[in-house]
């Protein structure tokens, strides 16, 4: 069994899943250089960060061979995922 904690970098607001690279751990090397890119090209930086964050969680949640426990720090995202799993 595997457990994944979805932090503040991924949340659910106004019917959309929102990513926020600024809430990512400062030690995370996967988004290295995003802040510099954000100053130069805001749209590209946001798109890259969105892909990286979503792909990270997708990868972690599909690793469990016998299942996966998921905890979300964002209550709205937790409820959204519960409803999606029930469907």
Phi, psi of 79 (to 5 degrees): -65, -40
pLDDT digits (tens, 9 = 90+) for 32-85: 899 999 999 999 999 999 999 999 999 999 998 888 999 999 999 999 999 998
Alpha helices in the chain (DSSP H): 34-40, 42-61, 75-86
Return the sign of the alpha-carbon dihedral for residues 52, 58, 59, 60. positive
Cα angle vertex 66, ends 51, 87, to 5°? 65
CA 47/CA 69 separation, integer angstroms: 28
Q: Is the pLDDT of residue 87 over 80?
A: no
pLDDT digits (tens, 9 = 90+) for 9-19: 999 999 999 99
Binned at pLDDT 50, 70 and 90, residue 25 comes out as: confident
């Amino acid at each position: 069994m595997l457990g994944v904690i979805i932090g503040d970098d991924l949340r659910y607001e106004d019917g959309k899943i929102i990513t926020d690279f600024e809430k990512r751990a400062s030690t995370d090397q996967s988004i290295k250089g995003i802040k510099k890119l954000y100053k130069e090209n805001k749209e590209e930086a946001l798109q890259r960060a969105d892909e990286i964050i979503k792909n990270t969680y997708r990868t972690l949640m599909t690793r469990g061979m016998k299942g996966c426990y998921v905890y979300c720090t964002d209550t709205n995202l937790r409820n959204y995922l519960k409803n999606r799993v029930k469907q």
